Structure 1
Amino acid sequence: MATVKAHLYLNGRQHAVSKLPAVFPVPGGTVEVKMSGFGLKRCHYVTTEGHESQLIPDPASAEGRRARLDRTHPTLSRTIGLVSLGVLVTALAVLVPQLAEQLTKPDAIAQHTGTFTAPIDVPTWANITIGLATLAASRERALRLRHTLLDGAAG
């Protein structure tokens, strides 16, 4: 797997490069950059006093295009955000019980914990669809730089 790097630009020219997570020293503080599994998780300027502000993504990047959609069509952007959040909650509600069922099936585990049966039996095509929708929703959340516990933002 290729190493992901952050590139810091100053006045349109590359000023520094670092493996992620990255901390770039800049006048008055640092620029902190972290990635999630689906895209940029954090890109903040942190002053020496500890005040933080999120940096504006490059307009040509996927994050920048998503930010432009948010500015130019806020209702559409909110709707897309709510749909992606709904997809993630639905996936959590459907896939976690199925995972618990699979984990408690082996006899070695079942004899200690008992078995769990998922309340609904979802066909394979629906599981695949939910998985793909979850990937798309996660990508959308990453592009918005909005991370919650549902997005795996812990840490």
Structure 2
Amino acid sequence: MIDRLQKRLALARAEPGDGRDLARYRWWQVPGRALFHLDPGGSGPPVHYTVDVRHWGNQAAGTVRAQLFRDGRQQAVSKLPAAFAVEGGVIEVAMSAVGMKRCHYVTHHGAARQLRPDPRSAEGLRARFEDRHPAASRWVGVASVLALTVGIGLLALQVIDPLSNVPPVEEYFGHIEVPFTPPLWFTTTSAVLAATASTERALRLRYRSWIDAIGN
């Protein structure tokens, strides 16, 4: 969850939208466009929010932006991580290097729920697979964690040897011999699988820095 200071900065960063209509979702946008929906409910008149994020851009330069649409009209725009004030709470949006890691509605009482992915988006297709094949979906999730764990192990092997040659480290621990050097084909395959696993987890908005960031 975005902490209080980050949330305040993100809320201040949001700019008013220009009222444009929400662009239609095209099939060829599946790899690079995320679309999430929210009906916050409450005692007031019904309202529908949509968060539109185009993945392909430079996050550091601020070209990856989240757009907030209210009933199909652009209400606000912000670079990521973003926070939009809406009825009853805040919509928080954030990305990792491989995809979405957060798109949640957080109420003023602190309760959080993920927005509903558009069924035509990659996130929506993954959610549909989980609904239709829950057992297979769980096994895919387990395989993703295993692939990332192997990636972390290989990273550790690559770091141990040069790190043990640093004088203070070598003086304290001695030179640490790497137990084995994996073949190139194994390292390459593991790297591809780890990247695929991170992408799969991003489609479910599952992100933990200790495995998703380190595993890549």
Common fold: TM-score over 0.5:
yes
Moved more, 24-33 or 101-110: 101-110
Return the offset for 1:107.
5.9
Deviations 1:101-133 (CA, angstroms, capped at 9, x unpaired): 233245675455432222221012211111111
> 1:66-145 alignment to 2 at 5 Å?
66-105=126-165, 110-111=170-171, 113-145=173-205
Asked if 1:43 corresponds to 2:103, the answer is: yes
Asked if 1:151 corresponds to 2:193, the answer is: no
Query: Unaligned 5+ residue runs, structure 1?
Result: none
In 2, Cα distance between equivalents of 1:17 and 1:134: 32
Query: SS where residue 116 of structure 2 aligns?
Result: coil
In 2, Cα distance between equivalents of 1:65 and 1:116: 46
In 2, Cα distance between equivalents of 1:147 and 1:82: 14
More helix by share: 1
TM-score by length of 2: 0.64
Query: Unaligned 5+ residue runs, structure 2?
Result: 1-57
Residue 3 (structure 2) aligns with: none
Which one of the candidate residues 2, 8, 11 is aligned to 2:71? 11
Which one of the candidate residues 121, 124, 148 is aligned to 1:64? 124
Partner amino acid, structure 1, of 2:103 = C
Partner amino acid, structure 1, of 2:174 = G
Q: How many residues align?
A: 153
Deviations 1:74-95 (CA, angstroms, capped at 9, x unpaired): 1221111111111111222233
Deviations 1:15-40 (CA, angstroms, capped at 9, x unpaired): 32110000101111110111111111
Moved more, 133-142 or 92-101: 92-101
Return the offset for 1:147.
2.1
State the superposition RMSD in angstroms. Answer: 2.1
Moved more, 2-11 or 105-114: 105-114
In 1, Cα distance between equivalents of 2:80 and 2:184: 37
Return the offset for 1:11.
2.5
In 2, Cα distance between equivalents of 1:50 and 1:107: 49
